[in-house]
Amino acid sequence: MKAAAGHLRRYVFLFIRYLLQPRCATRGLWSIAGRTSDPQTALANLLARDALYTEEVKRQAAPLQLPTIEVNGTATVDELVERAAHCLGIRR
């Protein structure tokens, strides 16, 4: 990520966090997990993998001062748009 940091300043990294893992929120992951012999375990493993990946990207973004926004269902779309616009220096 370091080599591309100059170009990344035009981006905001959005991280999706599934708080309760409702089936509707994890539909894409269910399409993968549902094809296994143990869908519940497969889904838990996919969510754990995604959480590890998210934390690693956030860890790498922090020293580069790259903006990140966690999307976890607690903010409205308008609030997320405002946060992203602020990070990018866009006036709305």
Over residues 60-69, the pLDDT tens digits come to 999 988 899 9
Confidence of residue 3 (pLDDT cuts 50, 70, 90): very low
CA distances from 74 to 1, 6, 18, 87 (A): 29, 31, 11, 19
Tens of pLDDT, residues 7-55: 555 788 887 776 545 554 556 777 788 888 998 898 888 888 888 988 9
Structural domain of 78: 5-88
Contacts of 81 (CB under 8 A, 6+ apart): 92
- Split into its structural domains, the chain has a count of 1
- Entry pTM: 0.63
What's the residue count for the chain?
A: 92
Q: Could you tell me the end-to-end alpha-carbon distance of the chain, in angstroms, rounded to an integer?
A: 29
What's the pLDDT at 30?
75
Top pLDDT among 22 and 87 is at 87
